[in-house]
Amino acid sequence: MSDVAQLSLIGVSQGCGYALVALGFVFIYRATEIVNFAHGELMMLGAFTVLTFAELLGLGFWLGAALGILSLGVFGYLLDAVVMRRVIGESQASVFILTVALGLMLKALAGMIWGYGARSLPSPFQTDVHFGGIVIGLDRIAVILATVLICGLLWLFFSRTRLGLAIQAASQNQLAAYYSRIPVKRLVSLVWAIAAMVAAVAGLMMAPVTQVDTEMSLFGIKAFAGAVVGGFGSIPGALMGCLIIGVAEPFLDYAFPPLKGVYAYILMLAVLFVRPEGLIPQTYQKKV
């Protein structure tokens, strides 16, 4: 039972890390109907940026984390304003190729600047917690708490502030929002900034667990799988799908190690065969 509990806690923390990245996928998709396949690279870039401020410049963990997250927010805003805004109205294939190319370029840029070797990011959470025969890293508990906190703050922002309500209006109907004098372009860029900052938080929180290297970007593919499992475009669905994959992975890896690392995609394919719209679809059919 202690092994089951420990694997479950590891899975929940891993699923929370996926969920933080998946939130960015969903935010951008709901605002622009663009699937940003470079979002995993934004997470990686956020981890490297925090590492630069915290360790290489010697500013400490907390100040480095704050500056790294804000820097990724600015980068996300400019990425939409300078690049993505120019492809509005283009075919989905063109946008797909562009986001994949952006991801490859960001990965190569990170390798040229910081190198391709793994780096460690010391954090104040690198201790173990013992509880009833269960040994769990404090960094994994911090991931869970950070995910709950960020989800709560985002819910308050989007449902209780005028800016958040304006973003929701622009996401649902950009033309109607434009005629209501809502600055749609700036709000879409703000969505990209928020998604990039959340991805930076994911990179920051998962860095002590996975280390910081260019391969961190693969984390985004599993987050994408979790969003598909839950129902792409649905925020509750993305959270549920990522938690399902996160919890299932440690048990499946333990039961059958030869397929370790690919169970997220197997689960995604299984759900797509049974329920192509995901577990919690974004839209619901009205009964007349």
Over residues 30-39, mean pLDDT: 88
Amino acid at 61: F
Residues near 102 by Cβ (< 8 Å), separated by ≥ 6?
Answer: 38, 41, 79, 83
Residue 1: what pLDDT? 67
Residue 132: what pLDDT? 67
pLDDT band at 107; cut points 50, 70, 90: very high
Q: What is the mean pLDDT of the chain?
A: 87
Over residues 132-153, mean pLDDT: 86
Lowest mean pLDDT of 34-43, 79-88, 128-137, 269-278, name the range.
128-137
Q: How far apart are CA 223 and CA 149, in angstroms?
A: 19
Alpha-carbon distances of 188 from 24, 96, 103, 239, 254, rounded to whole Å: 13, 18, 20, 22, 42
Amino acid at 68: G
Residue 287: what pLDDT? 40
More confident residue, 135 or 258: 258
The pTM score is 0.90
Alpha-carbon distances of 162 from 158, 189, 196, rounded to whole Å: 8, 17, 21
Over residues 121-148, mean pLDDT: 82
Residue 56: what pLDDT? 85
Say yes or no to pLDDT of 258 above 60: yes
- Domain ranges for the chain: 20-214
Say yes or no to pLDDT of 4 above 60: yes
Phi, psi of 90 (to 5 degrees): -75, 170
pLDDT in tens, 205-235: 888 888 899 988 888 899 999 999 988 888 8
